[in-house]
Structure 1
């Protein structure tokens, strides 16, 4: 998310790429133009369908605080029923470590367990987004939660493993195993700073692999575990994005699927997006690529962005999503998730004293009255 703003995989053809992160991610010299596929396939449960996904992280919290979400017809329905009724097949939900409920961050484990039950009851698959922080994680924020403060890389990797294993164990115990798991969110710069900054790729990979290994161990082994997604936000530069994943894989990082954030106001136009997805598929043919976050405005944005590809209207929001799907498909991508869809009537549920505006509400798939915009069908 960007507000108002994988056991080990081995690759021998990209020796030295881990140096890229401290050298500005320049082009990687390798014996092959394609990063080698994992020498051992770590698991087999990779989605086969095209994903039409929607991030529902705020929905339950908004509903419990009085927001009534309405379908395009104006009929009030449970949030996830609206998702199902509009032919989405996946949802995404974030999980925070000890969040305090402010700034839209109330997604602790009990909350996520309830969301997972609701989703599974409606036949929806789930991408579990593990933030490994108490706060929003993105390229500029990857802060270690208080419970793990001061730990060295070995202790921190043990904490990540134990925490992740417990989460997956609890979800499986209630019959709601996730169908794919993000180990970290927008982790361009690493996670669990300062120890896990990606400038020290060995430390960073030790932490992400601890999470991935825990998912495997809690899932009963490689054959029954969900795919591990590694998600970054560098979509506007294909060379840098490919170099990042080459460095990650060269350092032994476990990645089954690739996730990208794509917001046109920050990550360039459709040509940049298409080039990035195509380059990733060319270099990592064994890994599916997803747009894990995207959004556009149905109403004039408060942040003042002017480099937008479509008008800031319900029709413009719809047209953007209708145009986005063929771009991603034709470049070799495998699905799209919409971010912040239920960020509506935030005055009822959002406590954010340091935010000067609520730009995310302008990108919701529900208007200020809680009624679905036309764009809820944009990914059809």
Structure 2
């Protein structure tokens, strides 16, 4: 792999990566509504002996079930040096390369979710992997570039390039802490530097471009945060990111009603984003709903915690996103079933994700699998 030095990278980024309102967005997504499932756990579960069953009880490969239910995209996360035997974090590069091959066989497009961490990346966890600890901003940006370029190159070399790339996961509090940490209060950045975060995310976006052979051949870059319940704060975040020179082709949001409020807030957020960033598509990159009661209890839920409630939630969610101008939805944790076979997580008291899977405890698809239309 041809690597780029830190000084050259700095020049590349300083040259000015255009913000989303100023560029021609790659059209890998087209105008087709995205019905997507996050399949990150499926291969690990199957390797541990889980046999996923369709609605009629027929055992099928996980990604065949995805295709048979007319989903057109999948999402898979990629970790850096994870403990592949613990906490559901099997998604190192060899694992993801295998998922990409499986997806291509089923003619599914793929959103590659780059966590840039060895651990779950979310607003409360954005930990720098051990291999990069202690690096200053310039060196860390170069590390992000080199790593990302190598990932995309390896995927292209096996003829499975991603169709969209997510630079970081739920990065409203930044990523690669402490260097890229942000803190927001009342819609205002109070701690950290958006410019520093942009140096890191732009390094990843530039690497995707370079590994893809140029701007016209690269997949769209998604920037994904979890502030859905507050339209003004969400717009303010992306405005600050873009004003700092951040590269974002499409916007990704997380939406879980227990954390992010009701449908009206989601619709308002999407409409506000589409109004402020008119050339930028907006996706719900993560959502999920309970088919069974969570063991510790969950509040602010608009539907019963039953298979039918899960289905009804997803049926109601789709028109909210469409009517607000959104372009698709990805369901998170779709294959998180029979986790006792494959999940080693002694620090977790509650396997919450298993109650939100699209498969029950017999690994049989719930009615919710047909909820997204």
Distance in 1 between the 2:80 and 2:228 partners? 27
Output one character per residue of 1:191-211: Cα deviation in whole Å (capped at 9) or x when no partner.
Answer: 000001132111100000000
Q: How does 1:303-342 map to 2 (within 5 A)?
A: 303-342=296-335
Distance in 1 between the 2:215 and 2:18 partners? 16
Match of 1:230 in 2: 223
Distance in 1 between the 2:99 and 2:69 partners? 18
| Partner SS, residue 329 of structure 2 | strand
1:74 paired with 2:57, answer yes
Output one character per residue of 1:145-179: Cα deviation in whole Å (capped at 9) or x when no partner.
Answer: 00001000000000000000000000000000000
Deviation at 1:283, TM superposition (A): 0.3
Distance in 1 between the 2:106 and 2:364 partners? 21
Q: How does 1:189-208 map to 2 (within 5 A)?
A: 189-198=173-182, 199-208=192-201
Output one character per residue of 1:24-58: Cα deviation in whole Å (capped at 9) or x when no partner.
Answer: xxxxxxxxxxxx812x4364544321100000000
Give the counterpart of 1:137 among 117, 121, 133.
Answer: 121
Match of 1:360 in 2: 353
Q: How does 1:7-22 map to 2 (within 5 A)?
A: 8-10=16-18
Query: Which stretches in structure 2 are left out of the alignment for 5+ residues?
Result: 1-12, 183-191
Deviation at 1:77, TM superposition (A): 0.2
Match of 1:85 in 2: 68
Structural RMSD (CA): 1.3
1:63 paired with 2:56, answer no
| Partner SS, residue 21 of structure 2 | coil
Match of 2:238 in 1: 245
Relative to structure 1, the CA distance from residue 276 to residue 257 in structure 2 (aligned partners, 3 Å threshold; closer, same or farther) is same
Distance in 2 between the 1:137 and 1:99 partners? 12
Relative to structure 1, the CA distance from residue 204 to residue 374 in structure 2 (aligned partners, 3 Å threshold; closer, same or farther) is same
Give the counterpart of 1:121 among 84, 100, 105.
Answer: 105
Deviation at 1:302, TM superposition (A): 2.0
| Partner SS, residue 229 of structure 1 | strand
Distance in 2 between the 1:287 and 1:301 partners? 36
1:97 paired with 2:90, answer no
Match of 1:175 in 2: 159
Give the counterpart of 2:91 among 95, 107, 122.
Answer: 107
The answer to whether the 8 A contact 2:358-2:365 is kept is: yes
The answer to whether the 8 A contact 2:263-2:320 is kept is: yes
Distance in 1 between the 2:114 and 2:30 partners? 19
Aligned residues: 350
1:295 paired with 2:288, answer yes
Match of 2:149 in 1: 165
Deviation at 1:9, TM superposition (A): 4.6
The answer to whether the 8 A contact 1:44-1:224 is kept is: no
The answer to whether the 8 A contact 2:229-2:266 is kept is: yes
Distance in 1 between the 2:335 and 2:59 partners? 14
Relative to structure 1, the CA distance from residue 229 to residue 340 in structure 2 (aligned partners, 3 Å threshold; closer, same or farther) is same
Match of 2:365 in 1: 372
Match of 1:17 in 2: none
Distance in 2 between the 1:369 and 1:178 partners? 32
Match of 1:25 in 2: none
Relative to structure 1, the CA distance from residue 268 to residue 309 in structure 2 (aligned partners, 3 Å threshold; closer, same or farther) is same
Distance in 2 between the 1:235 and 1:303 partners? 24
Deviation at 1:282, TM superposition (A): 0.3
Match of 1:214 in 2: 207
Query: Which stretches in structure 1 are left out of the alignment for 5+ residues?
Result: 1-5, 12-35
TM score, norm. by length of structure 1: 0.90
